[in-house]
């Protein structure tokens, strides 16, 4: 059986190093915001070529805290609108709501699955304050165009980089925007539990965020802001310090698999993902489309290949957004709905072998 993602195997090469970290952790007896969190914040900021990394509890909190931080600085206010792709994972949208802001959904491009920049301008109102660019499946959204629209309209761009650790534009990893990362175990850089981080070059925002994640406090028992408790766990930070040096190699392996899928799969019933072969894609997921998804998924399963669907129901069709809440269920986003009806994620991971990839290709080509 080719598993969709064999996390036990992904992490097994790090076991000795994890044990050493655990032993050191037990020896220290210091459990919250210790040396490992500090070290990871330094390491990940350096990796992202950024001045600040704020370690937090998970990717959702990273996003929520960024919005709360901007509100604290007076750059956004309760009720302001944030533009977000309609086909994103629901966490992006929920984070906006959690910060008392209003999500405004925009269709993605069918080819790239990222927000269609040409549709943003029409959705901008006097209440719009930000665009949340989501780098879905590991591919960067069209940041050049999005940043230009933001500049013209005096908007803030926030990047949801939960699925895109290590993806970058041109030669430069540095982003002018604040970015949110998730270290959920299945992510390209995954912890052994929940974890997240914010990357920012905005010193003023960073200062507020370091407090906001810790009850709004910089000095123990003195609270400057109404913060929350969302600190990156010390042990998860230790594990992430072990794994971070391998991230680029892992991403390169993912790209190698993607190239093999892209050149090998030849079947009219399958639409392959678009990629311009630059480093703007780290293939967190390799997502194909097909009209008879259930049939294809069953066929692959019969042949020992596990697949997943990211995601079966679009956010606006979720029960959570029923008439009693937002009333989004009646909205129509045809591209988003088509994507959610047709997408299927093939196995891809840092430990997948070339033979396994070739087997998946062979089975797909005989479908
Ligand atoms: C695009 C996107 N944004 C945000 C999140 C939230 O991250 P977490 O699960 O760490 O809260 C995820 C997690 O799956 C995600 O895929």
Average pLDDT score over residue span 197-209: 98
Q: What does the pLDDT average to over 6-14?
A: 98
| Cα-trace Rg, the chain | 21
For the whole prediction, is pTM greater than 0.95? yes
For residue 327, what pLDDT is reported? 85
pLDDT value for 62: 98
CA of 60 to the centre of ligand 1 (A): 6
Ligand 1 within 6 A of 163 CB?
yes
Pocket test for ligand 1, best of 57, 60, 158 (most atoms within 8 A of CB): 60
Q: Indicate if ligand 1 lies below 6 Å from the C-beta of 57.
A: no
The pLDDT of residue 325 is above 90: no
pLDDT value for 49: 93
Helix (H) or strand (E) holding 1: none
Please tell me the distance from the alpha carbon of residue 162 to that of residue 197, in angstroms, as a whole number: 9
**φ/ψ of residue 131, rounded to 5:** -120, 130
User: Ligand 1 centroid to 9 CA: how many Å?
Assistant: 22
The alpha carbon of 266 and the centre of ligand 1 are apart by a number of angstroms equal to: 32
* Structural contact between residues 97 and 129, judged by C-beta atoms closer than 8 angstroms: no
User: Hey, what are 233's tokens?
Assistant: 């766990």
Ligand 1 pocket, mutate which of 67, 89, 185, 309 (most atoms under 8 A from CB): 89
- Residue carrying structure tokens 């080509």: 365
- Cβ of 290 closer than 6 Å to ligand 1, yes or no, is no
* Ligand 1 contact via 64 beta carbon (within 6 Å): no
Q: Do residues 302 and 320 lie in contact, with contact meaning Cβ atoms separated by under 8 Å? A: no
Output DSSP code: residue 347.
P
Beta carbons within 10 angstroms of residue 172's beta carbon: 8
pLDDT of residue 146: 97
- pLDDT tens, residue by residue, 140-191: 999 999 999 999 999 999 999 999 999 988 767 778 899 999 999 999 999 9
If phi > 0 it is left, if psi is from -120 to 50 it is alpha, else beta; for residue 29 that is left
For residue range 58-92, list pLDDT tens digits in order.
999 999 999 999 999 999 999 999 999 999 999 99
Probe ligand 1: pick from 67, 86, 87, 163, max atoms within 8 Å of CB? Answer: 163
The residue nearest atom 8 of ligand 1, judged by CA position, is: 59
| CA of 338 relative to ligand 1 center, distance in Å | 22
- 138 alpha carbon to ligand 1 midpoint, in Å? 12
Cis, peptide link before residue 347, omega less than 30° from 0: no
What string of DSSP letters covers 109-168?
Answer: -TTT-SB-GGGTGGG--TTEEEEEEE-GGGBPP-HHHHHHHHHHHT-EEEEE-TT-TT--
Q: Is the pLDDT of residue 123 over 90?
A: yes
Q: What is the pLDDT of residues 286-295, one digit of tens each?
A: 999 999 999 9
Tell me what pLDDT residue 47 has.
Answer: 96
The pLDDT value given to residue 357:
98
Please give the number of the atom of ligand 1 that sits closest to the Cα of 196. Answer: 10
Above pLDDT 90, what percent of the chain?
A: 95
Alpha carbons 239 and 214: distance in angstroms, whole number: 21
Task: Tell whether ligand 1 has an atom less than 6 A from the beta carbon of residue 162.
Answer: yes
DSSP3 helix / strand / coil % (the chain, rounded to 5): 45, 15, 40
C-alpha 114 to ligand 1 mean position (Å)? 15
In ligand 1, the atom with minimum distance to the C-alpha of 184 is 10
Whether residue 203 is predicted with pLDDT greater than 90 in this model: the reply is yes
Q: From the centroid of its chain, how far is CA 286? A: 14
Q: How open is the CA angle 107-177-195, to the nearest 5 degrees?
A: 85
> Which of 24-33, 41-50, 92-101, 171-180 is predicted with the least confidence, judged by mean pLDDT?
171-180
């Amino acid at each position: 059986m080719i598993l969709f993602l064999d996390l036990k195997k992904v992490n097994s090469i790090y076991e000795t190093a994890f044990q050493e970290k655990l032993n050191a952790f037990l020896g220290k007896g210091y459990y919250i915001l210790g040396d490992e969190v500090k070290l990871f914040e330094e390491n990940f900021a350096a990796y992202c070529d950024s001045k600040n990394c704020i370690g937090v509890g998970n990717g959702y909190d990273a996003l929520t805290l960024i919005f709360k931080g901007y509100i604290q600085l007076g750059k956004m206010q309760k009720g302001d609108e944030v533009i977000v792709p309609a086909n994103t994972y629901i966490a992006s949208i929920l984070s906006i709501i959690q910060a008392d802001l209003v999500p405004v959904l925009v269709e993605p491009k069918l080819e790239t699955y990222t927000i269609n920049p040409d549709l943003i301008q029409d959705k901008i109102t006097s209440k719009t304050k930000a665009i949340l660019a989501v780098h879905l499946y590991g591919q960067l959204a069209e940041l050049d165009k999005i940043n230009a629209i933001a500049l013209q309209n005096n908007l803030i761009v926030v990047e949801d980089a939960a699925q895109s650790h290590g993806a970058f534009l041109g030669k430069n990893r540095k982003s002018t925007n604040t970015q949110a990362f998730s270290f959920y175990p299945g992510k390209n850089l995954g912890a052994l539990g929940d974890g997240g981080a914010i990357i920012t070059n905005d010193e003023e925002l960073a200062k507020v965020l370091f407090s906001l994640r810790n009850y709004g406090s910089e000095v123990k028992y003195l609270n400057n802001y109404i913060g929350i408790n969302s600190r990156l766990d010390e042990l998860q930070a230790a594990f992430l310090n072990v794994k971070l040096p391998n991230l680029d190699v892992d991403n390169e392996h993912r790209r190698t698999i993607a190239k093999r899928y892209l050149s090998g799969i030849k079947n009219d019933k399958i639409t392959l993902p678009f990629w311009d072969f630059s480093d703007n894609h780290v293939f967190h997921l390799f997502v194909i489309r097909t009209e008879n998804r259930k049939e294809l998924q069953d066929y692959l399963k019969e042949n020992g290949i596990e697949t997943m669907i990211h995601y079966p129901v679009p956010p606006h069709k979720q029960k959570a957004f029923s008439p009693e809440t937002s009333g989004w269920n009646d909205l129509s986003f045809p591209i988003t709905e088509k994507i959610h009806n047709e997408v299927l994620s093939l196995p891809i991971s840092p430990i997948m072998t070339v033979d396994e990839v070739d087997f998946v290709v062979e089975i797909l080509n005989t479908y």
